[in-house]
Amino acid sequence: MHITKQMSSRAAGLPYLLRYALVCLMLLASGCAGGHSSQGVKYSGKNTKTYTRLPMRVHEDKLMELLENISSLFGIAYQYGGTTRRGFDCSGFVNYIYQKTFNARLPRTSRDLARIGRKVPIKKLRRGDLVFFRINGSHIDHVGIYLDSDLFAHASSSRGVTMGNLNNRYYKKHFVKGVRLLEIKGSRR
């Protein structure tokens, strides 16, 4: 009797454990890439938000502010779905920087971000352009912000907010495209 009661209580808890394990597995497999994960989960159902009109016309002075804002975040931990200084995922990082620097409203996911702006060849990338990668599968699942000299800033699932190099074999293999959202005007002096 004691054994069957113990087995039935374990069986009753089994669906909960399976759901819990499945959720944990999905979270591990769906973060922004830095190591080898992806951001394949949508954050919301319907996309009814109004985004900033592109291209954004900004003064070149804003590009220095962009670098300052990015450098102030280096080392902040990765957090799936993160959009604040407590932690970022890749698209949350891009959204935070663009909002803080340019007061811009952009789509939330890397896949949706890849659908806006003007495509730019890798050799013509400029500071502030977005760089996109396919880490897992056939869909874009990672995004960063181009800095200079083949360097880009991004929120890596393994290292948090950090820099990567487009010449790195790993990033070269997974690079998809660059996108320009900014039109630069002369400096304000």
Q: Is 106 buried (19+), middle (13-18) or exposed (0-12) by CB count in 10 A?
A: buried
Tell me the whole-structure pTM to 2 decimals.
0.75
Instruction: Please list the active-site residues.
Output: 90, 142, 154
Residue 42's pLDDT is 37
Percentage of the chain exceeding pLDDT 70: 73
Measured between alpha carbons, how far is 162 from 2 in angstroms, rounded to an integer?
56
The answer to whether residue 129 scores a pLDDT higher than 80 is: yes
Measured between alpha carbons, how far is 113 from 169 in angstroms, rounded to an integer?
24
pLDDT in tens, 40-94: 333 344 555 799 999 999 999 999 999 999 999 999 999 999 999 999 999 999 9
Domain assignments of the chain as residue spans, ordered by start: 56-185
- Band of the pLDDT at 1, cuts 50, 70, 90? very low
Residue 137's pLDDT is 85
Fold of 56-185: endopeptidase fold (from Nostoc punctiforme) (3.90.1720)
pLDDT in tens, 164-181: 999 999 999 999 999 999
- Band of the pLDDT at 32, cuts 50, 70, 90? low
End-to-end distance of the chain based on CA atoms, in angstroms?
86
Q: Give every CB contact of residue 115 below 8 A, 6+ residues apart in sequence.
A: 107
Measured between alpha carbons, how far is 18 from 145 in angstroms, rounded to an integer?
38
